[in-house]
Structure 1
Amino acid sequence: MISVRTLARREREDFADLLDGLSPLQWQAPTLCAGWTVRDVVVHTISYLGQTRVGLTAAMLSARGRVDRLNDRALEAGAGSGPDELRALMRAGVDPSGAGALYGCRVALIECLIHQQDIRRPLGLPRIIPPDALRASLTYARVSPVIGGAWRTRGLRLIATDLDWSAGRGPEVHGPGEALLLAMTGRVGAVADELQGPGLAQLGRR
């Protein structure tokens, strides 16, 4: 069985490979993260995963627990970083450490997986996500204290149609694992047409 650390490392390597092929225009393109360009998403990912656990705790306290404020500060700090530097930083940090190693390296895995899709979908650069990585991310997203998946999916049963994964009780939502993952992490508007079931309207309202 492949370890989560290995899955996270592979996901970040895939992310780095993606960045290596982007044009200057694509770096400025919009993403699924409202108001953020590709460059912004990359800065956020690198800055978040690059922090030590103590540094992340201090940053959260300074931001008084407000994730949006924490994100804004990270973007400000990385304002001077260009594509070449960001590509190198993404490639250099493939092995999870610090904040990225939290929850058995699941933080690094899901951050790199979700934010890579935030970039790929608007750019029309789809890929087949490795099933092991997707399954581990789905399971973690439902219980993560930061992602909010537990709140968004409370009282619903999610069923992946392309891999062996399901969770929860209540009205069902069916769809590809990637679409379910993006929906439970707050991107339901981008994948609603890929999902179906009596629980979809409830999921959309959250």
Structure 2
Amino acid sequence: MYPSLILASGSPRRRELLTMAGIPFEVVLPADHAETEPHPSESPRETVLRLARDKADDVAQRTSEGIVLAADTLAECDGQPLGKPRDRDHAREILQTLRGREHTVLTAICLWRRPEDFVALDVAESHLKMRMLSDEEIEEYLDTGLWEGKAGAFGLQDRIDWIEVTSGSQSNVVGLPLELLAILLLNFHE
């Protein structure tokens, strides 16, 4: 019998992806202090790795057995992290930065098996191109509110036609690279 999977995330997109993949799970939210801002000295890759591990650690310390799954996603353009927008103005700024440009979405996954405290950590990277958006198109998208809570201020799952995944995993762009998760889970089952 496999240990239970505990999703350390409130993300509805991550829950959807696990459900679509047929992976049973329960949700235990990490404490707010486990989700911090990027440190100025960190690369986007270092940031997502740290945050995924911190979230997994927080939930693992409150869990007696099972596999804790935590993830963190960041968009980055020219080495600058573009996390979740703070508000509409910040979302506008992010979309204006990304329009007409290529950028990268990074998602780190941390699996933490209790009670053994065996930990696996890795990152998936996807490359995207956003077509040149007009200011009007950006404002129309902002009006939908779909940008809220999403790294890079957009969601591929929102069926927007102005994003193309040029390489990497589409589920990574949504927030949980299922291909990487499958590989990591293989190491956790005896």
Task: Name the TM tier (shorter chain).
Answer: 0.3 to 0.5
**TM-score if structure 2 supplies the norm length?**
0.34
**TM-score if structure 1 supplies the norm length?**
0.32
Q: Greater strand share, 1 or 2?
A: 2
Q: Greater helix share, 1 or 2?
A: 1
